[in-house]
Structure 1
């Protein structure tokens, strides 16, 4: 079975770098500090038009938890429709009920809007009450894959549950380990889980080319955030992971 590396990218520039480094697929997001939200229409279109590898787009209207209001869900539905029109390979989403169960009804409703797309249920899965039961529900919904860290902060910490999930998936759904995956642990995670698809950010931060900094003002609400740097991807890290998977 071919091993595949998906790279989470927060801009077109980083997606292009990831492709050049050998990534097999992009998860396109915005808003790193919130853990990823839906990117703009123009960003999606530019990525789809310019990249040669599949682009999957996150459908997440805000940061925080995964219990959405009806208005937020309507936005998510429209984002799925728009993403399909723009020619994406797939979408990445996740919705829960107040009790920590998968929101099966809304999952099916969202998927019905664009049945030809590739559907990934993201790490909302890690917030579920019972991961093995949740996996069965996602199988029944027809979701293509689940992105998961095995219910822990990192995939390495969740390696035991990840192995159980890959076994339980029984090739009916892809279990894609993600969170904290890098060149130093991807071989171990692959060996101990039996997974064949992996999700990594390979993140690095690039300093702004600005020469003047106004020390009296911050555009964001968190004064601890350096607004004169942006997130990107580390090409060397991606290349190393690709070579290991080969």
Structure 2
């Protein structure tokens, strides 16, 4: 079992690492669902951490349907993340009718050559997750899909996530469950949906809020529960 933790500051990233997280998703704009952090933050976090740091590539919070200018900026952000030492990048691109945007995805993947790639929760806004999965499966460069199974909390979508996991069990692509997972529900969730990667945000923070820093004790308790 692998645990990824969201961090938006160097101190959060260091706390998560020390508590035993396996990977950091580095973002800013947590209240907006995560945006690309500043370059100085990326550089410092990548320099000081020993665990992998995957950086959010998202230029704005107005959905996941991007203009040509947006894509050009995302490609440049990916290039800079490479130079700054990121292990991977996190992105997702959709058409206006909520399908995977193949042209944009191809361009971002090409830019990210050599980096670990997560297709993020744009997946949860597709009109048909199983059709979207078939598209993403065709890209061997993508390591995982971060998804809540289309619900606000992954804990409410265990059946869907179990099926998605089954459909990717024997290929390069993993399903990483995220959103709404916590100490209180993670065991029951994994009993129903035996995914191999889990992603935590507010569930490992003081007062379960992005207004507060990561609580290392919550991270440790989760790791103990799931055997990460």
Q: TM-score, normalised by structure 2?
A: 0.94
Question: Which consecutive residues of structure 2, in runs of 5 or more, have no partner in the other structure?
Answer: none
Correspondence for 1:112? 110
- Look up the match of 1:80: 78
Instruction: Output the CA distance in 2 between the equivalents of 1:106 and 1:171.
Output: 27
Q: CA deviation at 1:10?
A: 1.4
CA displacement, residues 136-172 of structure 1 (integer Å, 9 cap, x when unaligned): 1111022110000000000011111101100111332
> Using the alignment, how far apart are the partners of 1:126 and 1:64 within structure 2?
15
TM-superposed CA distance for 1:52, in Å, is 0.7
- 2:155 alignment counterpart: 156
Matches within 5 A, 1:147-186: 147-172=146-171, 173-186=173-186
Aligned to 1:203: 205
Determine the C-alpha separation between the residues in 2 that align with 1:114 and 1:62: 19
Contact in 2 for aligned 1:205/1:232 (Cα 8 Å): no
Bigger radius of gyration: 1
SS of residue paired to 1:231: coil
Separation (CA, whole Å) in 1 of partners of 2:194 and 2:119 = 19
CA–CA distance in structure 1, aligned partners of residues 47 and 119 of structure 2: 25
2:38 maps to 1:40: yes
Cα RMSD (Å): 1.5
Q: What is the 5 A alignment of 1:1-246? A: 3-142=1-140, 143-172=142-171, 173-201=173-201, 202-204=204-206, 230-246=211-227
Note the alpha carbon deviations across 1:154-204, whole angstroms, 9 max, x for none.
Answer: 001111110110011133210000001111111222221120100001233
C-alpha contact 1:162 1:193 (8 A) present in aligned 2? yes
Cα pair 1:126 1:152 within 8 Å, conserved: yes
Secondary structure at 1:144's aligned position in 2?
A: strand
C-alpha contact 1:145 1:174 (8 A) present in aligned 2: yes
Distance in 1, Cα, partners of 2:40 & 2:174 = 30
| TM-aligned CA distance change 1:205 to 1:28, over 3 Å | farther
Greater helix fraction, Structure 1 or Structure 2: 2
Distance in 1, matches of 2:27 and 2:168, equals 27
Decide which moves more: 197-206 or 234-243: 197-206
Deviation at 1:230, TM superposition (A): 4.2
Question: TM-score under structure 1 normalisation?
Answer: 0.87
* Cα distance in 2 for residues equivalent to 1:123 and 1:204: 24
